[in-house]
Chain A
Amino acid sequence: MAAITLTDIQKRYPDGFHAVKGVSLDIADGEFVILVGPSGCGKSTLLRMIVGLEDISEGELTIGGERVNERAPRDRHLAMVFQNYALYPHLTVFENIAFPLRLTKGQFTEEQIREKVSFAAKTLELQDHLDRKPANLSGGQRQRVAMGRAIVREAQAFLFDEPLSNLDAKLRGQMRTEIARMQRRLGTTTVYVTHDQTEAMTLGDRVAVLRKGELQQVASPRALYEHPVNLFVAGFIGSPPMNFLPGEVSGDVLRLPIADVPISAALRQRLGDRRLVIVGIRPEHFEDGAVASRQNREGGVTFHADVDVTEWLGSDLFAYIPFETNPQVAGKLEELDRDLDGEGLRTQLVVALASDSRVRDGDDAELWFDAGKILVFDPETGDNLTFDADQARTLDEQNEQDRKASLERAHAREQKQQARTA
């Protein structure tokens, strides 16, 4: 197990394509870090450079304090789980898991190999399938065999390349918790690539958001969600995504297409002399006006809007509200939409209301939103003007404490279990 340090890593392909542009990232020993971003952001390339399947054009990569740029993959002592699992079809499950051990020629006795494989098989509940060939396994079982191969290697770190993207939704949820449990239990440094933000938010101790080969923000999931550094991170994290509206500064209020928001002293300072900004409001910060007043919520703004479509999901009610955007920010928002693999559809507000709300299609509804939770972005640079670095750092620190605590709990549980079996 080891820490991984990336210093100004660059990747340029022979055809001139600049896939990764100076990424620096410190991954602590035992940490679970997610690389996330829309397709083509360079996350897989970055992972393949860490494991050694791609050459590093510039920059330095150290694993456990040693520079490994020039080392062949086999000398980096990492283990990787591929998107299609890359199981050897001609070998049984047992031999697939034992494969890395067999390669070391005589370093392990037959006895040791059997021991290690059965430990891994037990961890992953594969004991009953050891004699089968990969073709006869289900998707989830294949996934576990691939993880078994990583476990026996006792690698410095585990690398995952979108390992769940070939599974169906239900299995994906199960395997997600499986991977989380395994990582906590073994405490192995893990780098995990995904384009799925649910995986990113649930699995990672820290999440690194990439865009076009550039690192945008590295933070704990909560810091990322509540304190995104820019428009891109704000738009990428969260589902349904954050709503972006043009906001015109007009005297003491920020004029949005749906309502006017009073400008507080703190916000006024951050706005500077900007006349036009982009305002981000998460769907769950909206509420049905009736519900909000029943709950006596304060610090909000109430407004009326024509509801186009509603979707009742049981836990929430999503309502869609079309609005006219300001031509001066339309370009920036379209660019953002493209970066996020969006389809460039109409501009509409998505609001998540309480599931008992009576708002329906075609209503002229009274809605409410929490003015204290809005984020304000610079329309040119996309920077988050309301970014609170101290708050974000506090969240990260809390997260780090939680992680350490949970690792210790996992260790304690492990030891208790061993003591019981002994």
Chain B
Amino acid sequence: MTTQAAPPATPEARDVKARRIKALQSDRARAENRLGWYLAGPAFVVMLAVTLYPILQATYDSLFRYRLTAPDDKAFIGLANYGVVLTDAVWWQAFGVTVLITVITVAVELVLGFALALVMHRAIKSLRGLLRTAILVPYGIITVVSAFAWFYAFDINSGYVNTWFDWVPGISEDLNWFAQFGTAIFVIIASEIWKTTPFISLLLLAGLAQVPSELDEAAEVDGATWAQRLKRVTLPNMKAAIMVAVLFRALDAFRIFDNVFIMTNGSAGTTVLSLLAYRTSIGRLEIGLGSAISVLLFLAVIGICIGAIKLFKVDLAGARGES
């Protein structure tokens, strides 16, 4: 601020004017603020009401010995429920199964989803609609329906997989896929992958579409092979999309419930965390213990989120800064 420029107005006048502008702006801003909250407030309140309230209630309930079959027996026991859960092999078994499913589905879906995304991206116009429609079918179908479809295909009684693939060593007429862990988890994972790959591939397609085709052409002229272009130009430029896709799918897979419930209902060691929580609270009416599992599951999801954000943060920020 210098006065050398010989302003037309005196400093005082300028001051007053500036203050008036500021007041006007803040008046306007305040009105806009208010309108913003009037419009967005209801949605915000509803979202909090349907999630924040229950999780707080669950946290509270988890501190009590509380069974609906014996409501009078309710007593405050501190963190004892968590002790019970965390020292129980059942929890750790379910945790392990859930992590296994998450890791395998996300890894496979990333590759398969990228392939599908490339197909949709490159497809000639006449095929694009058909391919998109086909790929959206698994996305739109009810998970329970998909679970039944896969279950009946592999089922020892109604299935045809055993008849079709009896030439594969290990598969025979009387292989019961859902009787042991390895085969049961295979079908569960296959069904989960089938149903959710379209979603990940759409996220990746959006990422692909954001990479300007000129970059690919420039690299082609610069002498890059197809693989080099993919590795050095396309993938680095859709890093953010890949991370978003992985994070979303990982969190989604971690909550897997429907497929397991329908196919094995947790038998053959396939119980996952969501199913464990459901069985404890809804099945056995152990609200205290069930709430503790719910809270732990919630914390695990938060953990994945924080881990992912910490891991990717630099790159996410970098990716944004560049574009």
Contacts and interface: CB of A to CB of B under 8 A. Distances in A.
B215 A86 contact: yes
Contacts of A135: 321-323
B123 interface: no
Nearest to A72: B220
Contacts of B228: 103
B323 A73 contact: no
Interface string A64-91: 0000000011100111101110101111
Interface string A144-163: 00000100010000010000
A91 B228 CA distance: 15
B220 A74 contact: yes
B322 A82 contact: no
Given A134-B322, A135-B322, A84 B214 contact: yes
A102 B219 CA distance: 11
B321 A82 contact: no
A104 interface: yes
B71 interface: no
B312 to A, nearest CB: 14
Contacts of A77: 223
Contacts, number: 75
Contact of A53 (B221, B232, B321, B322): B221
B12 interface: no
Contacts of A84: 212, 214
B222 A104 contact: no
Nearest to B323: A89
Contacts of A53: 217, 220-221
Contacts of B221: 51-53, 73-74, 78-80, 159
A103 B222 CA distance: 8
A312 to B, nearest CB: 32
Interface in B220-250: 220-225, 228, 232-233, 236-237, 239
A133 B228 CA distance: 21
Contact of B212 (A73, A79, A86): A86
Best-buried of A77, A82, A89 by chain B (most CB within 10 Å):
A89
A376 to B, nearest CB: 45
Interface in A152-195: 153, 159
Contacts of B321: 133, 135
B236 A99 contact: no
Nearest to B217: A53
Contacts of B236: 88, 90-91
Nearest to B319: A90
Nearest to B224: A103
A199 B212 CA distance: 27
B108 interface: no
A163 to B, nearest CB: 12
Interface residues of B, number: 22
Nearest to B318: A90
B218 interface: yes
B233 A82 contact: no
A140 interface: no
B222 A74 contact: yes
Interface string B174-208: 00000000000000000000000000000000000
Best-buried of A83, A91, A159 by chain B (most CB within 10 Å):
A91
Contacts of A52: 220-221
A241 interface: no
Nearest to A135: B322
B215 A103 contact: no
A103 B322 contact: no
Given A74-B222, A74-B224, A90 B214 contact: no
A80 B223 contact: no
Contacts of A159: 221
Interface in A253-312: none
A78 B223 CA distance: 9
A100 interface: yes
A103 to B, nearest CB: 5
Best-buried of B215, B228, B323 by chain A (most CB within 10 Å):
B215
Contacts of A82: 214, 217-218
B322 to A, nearest CB: 4
Given A79-B222, A103-B225, 15 more contacts: A53-B221, A73-B217, A73-B223, A74-B224, A77-B223, A79-B221, A86-B212, A88-B215, A88-B218, A88-B233, A88-B237, A89-B323, A91-B236, A103-B224, A149-B218
12 contacts: A78-B221, A79-B221, A82-B217, A84-B214, A86-B214, A86-B215, A88-B219, A90-B239, A99-B219, A103-B223, A103-B225, A153-B222
